[in-house]
Amino acid sequence: MKVSTDQILDATIGLAKEVGWGNTSVRGISKRINYSTIKIYSEFGSKENLLVEVQKRGFRLLKRKYINSISNVSEPKEQFINLCIAHYSFARTHQRYYELMFQVNGVACKRATHETLSNAGEPVRNLIEELSGRMNTALFLGWWSMIHGFTLIAQNNFDITEREAIKVLRGIVENYIKGIE
């Protein structure tokens, strides 16, 4: 029986959710879907290549989340705030993807390609440019430091509720917007 690439990727992320990336193995994936490890290796070449495919899928999901968060809002400032909240929400609801995509919690995988990162970050760059009238690496890195730093801190602080975290994030993003206008 042929197993699809999506089934293998689903099994990979499912296993990682249960046991973490460090304990996720091709053997464990193959057992989960009753498929030969040799066939998985022949399709992906290595565990590393399999993880890269999961990572790419994560970036596609994140970009869709960005786009969905801004699709029903016309004002750029609110779009940007929604996009930042969507990033934070993605990290909370898709923790294992986030770990792999951004090398969090000791997860090691090849870094995403420039093309993958650029594609996923397109909605962010477009809004930064619209809000500031310019786009450069410094503005994007400022945004990245803000959103990723906040996400990591909020995820590791058990004393803050989701509602409180989003309120704090909203304030931080509003200040970022003021700083780039």
pLDDT in tens, 18-60: 998 889 999 999 999 999 999 999 999 999 999 999 999 999 9
Q: Is residue 65 part of a domain?
A: yes
CATH of the domain at 30: 1.10.10.60
- Residue in the block written with tokens 């029903």: 72
**Number of structural domains the chain divides into:** 2
Q: Is residue 160 part of a domain?
A: yes
Length, in residues, of the chain: 181
Q: Is residue 50 part of a domain?
A: no
With residues binned 3-state (H G I as helix, E B as strand, rest as coil), the percentages for the chain, rounded to 5, are 80, 0, 20
Q: In degrees rounded to 5, what are phi and psi of residue 74?
A: -100, -25
Same domain? For 113 and 175 the reply is: yes
Same domain? For 71 and 151 the reply is: yes
Domain that holds residue 159: 55-180
**What pTM value is reported for the model?**
0.90
